[in-house]
Chain A
C-alpha cells in the first residue's frame, strides 16, 4: 500500500515530520517498507529566467537562449516551442542528471553553437507526461532550487511516497483514510471529517440490477447510479499526480476516479459505459465456462460458482475482481454506470485464485472493505465525477441490502494488564477505542465496545486488547520475569530425542561431517530407494530436482558427495540424521542416521593407502548402535536392500524382521545413476527400532569378576568358502555357555593349498572358570566340544 505525504494530509491534520510518521506507522503495525524521496533526484534543478531567445541560425525549430541562472547568464539551445524571453524556467546545468531522458547534461555544441545546459519539461523530470514545452513557472527566484519551489507551490508532485506492508487483518488500512485514523488515534494529528455527499438523483436509472437468490451470500448489496452526459478525458493534474506517485498509470478521468477511491477510502468501484450495456444488470453465479475479456485485455473462462455481472450481451464483469473490456468506459463515454458493491471475501479469494488475477479490487475485497460504506462510497465517486466531468445523476439503484455487521464486545479494562502486561488507564483505553471508531459504553472496568463496520477483523475481547495495546505502543512494554520451576532443572529430552543427539555426536566423533540436505529429491533418485514413489510426490514442486519427499537419506548424501567430488574433494565422510518418508500421510516419516564414506582413502606415508571398505562401514554402524544402546546380541544377516552391493552388504537385526541397521558397499548402479565415483560404503541406522530398556533406573547391576586365570585356545577350521564366520562363532559359543566367555575370529585364509572354494577361519576361544582353576582335562573336554560343534554346524574340519 503506497501513498504520498500530501495524500495522507487530505485526511490527517498534522504537523508531524515524515520521520515521525514513518516511525509511528511501523510501531502501529503498519510496517513501513520504503520511503521514496522523490525530491532527491531533482535536487540539482534550479530556477532560471530566459532573457533572450533568438532563432538558431542553422535550425528553424531551435532557439538560442540567454538564461539567467545562479551561475550567471548562460547560453542554452532549446527546441521547445514556448521558449521565449521573459519566462521563468527550470534549468538543468551541466552535470545534472535528467531522469526522464536518463542523461547527464554536458556542455555541447548543437548545430555549431554551444549549449550550457537544458531547460526541462515536466516529462523530463518525470513529474507528468507533459512534454508540449518547457515548464513555465508563475513565480520563483533565479537560483532557487526547483524542489524547494515545488515544496512551497506544488508539494504533491515531490513529497515522499510511503509504502507500507498491510497485514491481512487490516483491510481498513488499505485506504489512506484508515491509515490516517490509526495515526490520529495515536495522537499524531487530527482525523479530518469526511462529509457524506448529497446527490440529488434526477431520474430513474434505466438500467436495473438484480441479484440471483443463490448469489446473495456472495453479494449482499449492489449500488448503482447512472450519470448522463459526462465529459470524460484526462484527469486533473492533482489526481494524475497522486496516481502516478503510487505507481498507477492515469487512464481517463472516469477510470482514475475508481482507482483513486480504491486507494483513498478503500472503496473499489467499477464504471460501465451505459451505452454499451444492453438491458439490465444481473448478478449471478457462473455456470462455468462463460468467457470474458477483462480490462487487462486477457480472456478468462469463469469457473462454476464465480460471481459475474451480466447483461443481455452476456458477462460484462468479473464481480469484485476486474471489469470487462467490452463495457469499459472510453474517452468517448458520455453515459456511465457507476457500481459500488460489497462482495464476500471468501468468494473473491476463491475466484481470484482460480483465475490468477491480482487486482487492487480483489486484494481489497478479500481482506474486507467496509460493507456499510457501499452506498456512500458510490456517492463520493459520483460527486467527484459530477464536479469535474459534469452530467446528471440518476437515483441510486440498490439491489440487496447492506449486511448487518453490528456487534459489541465486552472489554474488561483490567484485561490489558493481565494479557499484555502493560498498565493503561481505563480512560485512555476508552479514548483509544473511540478514536478508532468504536462506540464505547459502560463504566470501567467493564466497558462495551461496538465495532465499526470497517473493522471486520475485530471478533472478540482479545482484539480490543490488541487495539488498545497497539495504539499505546508495544515499544513501551517492559519484560517481566516468568516463574521458574522451583526445582533443579530436570532432563527435558525424550529418549528418542536423546538417541538422535547421540547418533549425531557419535558420527561426528567417528570423523563424519554432518550434512543437512533437502527433504525433497528428484523422482529418479527417489525411485532408486523406494518401490512406490507416487505417495511421496509434491503437487507443486519448486523444481523437478525437488519433486518428491526423500524415502532415504542416502540419495541426498550421495548427491552431496558428487557435488564435492566435482569440486575436487577426494576423501568424503558425510552423515545426516533426519527424517525419511515412507508415505504421504502425516506421521509416515521415520528417523534415520546414515553415514557415507566415499573415495580412495587418504594417502598414508606411514602405511599403505586403503579405500574404505564394507568393514569400515560395519564398524561405524556398530559403534553408533552401541552408543544408542542396541543389545549385544544383534545378528548380522544377509538381505540388505537393493541399493547395496548384494554380496557386500548386511543387515544388523534382532531376528529376521527387526532391522536396526544396514551397511555395505553402495551398489555400483546407484553410484552411476547419481554420478558418484566410487568406491563408496555406507550404513543406515533406524534409531527407533532399537528396543528401549524395560526397567527404568540407574542401577547398572553388579559386576561379576573372577580372579581365576582365563584360558585362551585357538582353533582353525577348514570350511567351504561360503560358510560365514558368524556361524563358526555361534557354534563355538554354544559348546559351553557358562565356561566360554568370548569367541573371536582372528584370521581368514582363502584358497592356497586348501584348494578352490575352501577357506580357513581361525578363532580364539576364551574360557573363564568361575569356581576353580581349569585342569588340562577340563580344557581338553571343552576344546573337543568346540571342534565337534563347529564341524557339525559348518561341515568343516579342524585344520591339521
Chain B
C-alpha cells in the first residue's frame, strides 16, 4: 500500500510541475489528475467520475490580477484518491461529500503555492546579486532551484492529499453515516450545475445566453427521450 502513496506523490508532483513551472500541457487539470489517482488506488473509473465534476467547477478564469487561483490539482488528488477507496455499494452521496471536502485542499494548496512563490523571490534576488558579481551562469542554478522547489512541494502536497483522501474515505465517511446518499442528493445535482455555470461564465454570457439555454433544452429533451425509450 505504501508504495502506492509514494507513486501518487511522484506522479502528483509531476502534475504540479505542469501546473505552473513547466510546459503547462494540461496534465495538471482535475480530470487528468483525479483519473490518474483513481487508477493508482485501484478504481480508475471512480477517479474519472469525480474528476469531470471538479474539472468544470474550477474552469472559470477570474480576472483578479496577481492573486492565485484555487489549487484544483490538489483538490483532484484528494477527491480522486478518496473516490477509489469508496466501496462500490456506497451511495452516490459519498462522491458529493468528497468533492465538497476537496475544497479544503484547494485552498490549502493555494496558500502553499503563495509561499513557494515568495521563496522563489529570494532565489531570484540571489540570482540578481550573483549576476551583479559577474556570475551569469547563476541564472541557470536559480531556475533549477525554483523548479526543484516547485517539484518537491508538489510531491509533498500530492502525498499528503492522497493520504488525506484515503483517510477521509475509510474513516470520515463511515463516521458520518450510511444514509449520506439520500441526504446529499440535492447537493449531488448542484455540483455539476456549478460546473455548467463555470463553463457558461467563460463565454460571452450576456450575448449568448439564448444559445446556451437552447443547447441545454435540446440536450435535456434528447437525454430524457433516450432514457425513457431504453
Q: Is B a genuine binding partner of A?
A: no
Chain A residues close to B by CB (< 8 Å) = none
